[in-house]
């Protein structure tokens, strides 16, 4: 396959970005999207140029680092996959492909296609964990969990924190990410004691980071490579209302 790439290039966080054109020649249809970029970078380096910077790690759809907007869609045209799982057979010979970083005020561009998503780390640090003593690993098997809650927790736990939900949202909202991380723990008995503190901390940190509000457009669910349901957002809103009421009731 021979393709034309329109790639966002930016030398650093404070530099002005630009779109550069690169030719991708003799790309195997079975190559993944990131493997295609590897081939293109080899050619750029051979010609004495600076390779295109992009994030990657596991390349198995687990780590969530391959944050690319491909033809205007986070992770590309396929549903339920990350950019590293997208294969070039999804495109046609001669296509022009536009590749940009995830766009959000809270995700500043570091270089080319690499963005800083440490805002997600700070949201997790604000409450996305269990700090109460819950016993060792074998003790967890002794605590009964209703199947409905276990299934909901497992589904929410599949979130890989890639940020596609933010990039897809016109408001750059992080509600799907925050709701998934909170829902994962709030559905389990080990997370119940800190439920109010967790929800308040994570939502308030999300607002502090500059993410936008949710207006129920559901682009986040459509772009999520793990198909996280927006039902988690509705649950987060209910939990937040309950937590703020509880906070007001116990305030001195």
117-250 homologous superfamily: Alpha-helical ferredoxin (1.10.1060.10)
What is the full per-residue pLDDT of the chain (252 aa) written as tens digits?
999 999 999 999 999 999 999 999 999 999 999 999 999 999 999 999 999 999 999 999 999 999 999 999 999 999 999 999 999 999 999 999 999 999 999 999 999 999 999 999 999 999 999 998 877 777 777 888 999 999 999 999 999 999 999 999 999 999 999 999 999 999 999 999 999 999 999 999 999 999 999 999 999 999 999 999 999 999 999 999 999 999 999 888
pLDDT in the model for residue 76: 97
pLDDT in the model for residue 136: 79
* CB-count burial class (<10 Å; 0-12, 13-18, 19+) for 169: buried
pLDDT in the model for residue 139: 75
Phi and psi at residue 114, to the nearest 5°: -95, 125
Rounded CA gap, 68 and 193, in Å?
A: 38
**Class assignment of domain 3-111?**
alpha beta
Q: Which residue has the tokens 């949201």?
A: 123
Rounded CA gap, 114 and 2, in Å?
A: 25
CA–CA distances in Å: residue 182 to residues 36, 152, 171, 186, 238: 36, 11, 21, 6, 12
The domain segmentation of the chain, as residue ranges, is 3-111, 117-250
pLDDT in the model for residue 193: 93
Task: Residue 7: name the closest of 70, 84, 81 by CA.
Answer: 70
Provide the H-helix boundaries in 95-174. Answer: 118-125, 137-140, 147-157, 164-168
CA–CA distances in Å: residue 151 to residues 97, 134, 156, 183: 38, 20, 9, 11
Sheet harboring 73-74: ordered strands across? 18-24, 3-9, 96-100, 69-70, 73-74
């Amino acid at each position: 396959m021979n393709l034309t790439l329109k790639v966002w290039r930016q030398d650093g966080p404070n530099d002005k970005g630009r779109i550069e054109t690169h030719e991708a020649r003799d790309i195997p249809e079975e190559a993944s999207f990131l493997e295609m970029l590897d081939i293109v970078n080899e050619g750029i380096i051979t010609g004495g140029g600076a390779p295109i910077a992009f994030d990657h790690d596991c390349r198995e759809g687990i780590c969530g680092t391959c944050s690319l907007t491909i033809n205007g869609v986070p992770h590309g045209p396929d549903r339920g996959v990350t950019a590293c799982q997208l294969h070039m057979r999804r495109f046609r010979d001669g296509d022009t492909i536009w590749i940009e970083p995830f766009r959000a005020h809270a995700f500043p561009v570091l270089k080319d296609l690499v963005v800083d998503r440490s805002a997600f780390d700070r949201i997790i640090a604000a409450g996305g964990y269990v700090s109460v003593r819950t016993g060792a690993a074998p003790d967890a098997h002794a605590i009964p969990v209703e199947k409905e809650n276990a299934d909901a927790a497992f589904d929410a736990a599949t979130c890989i924190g890639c940020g596609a939900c933010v990039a897809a949202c016109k408001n750059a909202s992080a509600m799907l990410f925050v709701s998934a991380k909170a829902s994962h723990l709030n559905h389990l008995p080990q997370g119940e004691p800190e439920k109010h503190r967790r929800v308040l901390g994570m939502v308030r940190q999300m607002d502090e980071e500059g993410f936008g509000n949710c207006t129920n457009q559901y682009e986040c669910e459509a772009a999520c490579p793990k198909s996280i349901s927006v039902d988690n957002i509705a649950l987060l809103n209910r939990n937040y209302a309950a937590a703020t009421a509880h906070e007001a009731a116990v305030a001195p």
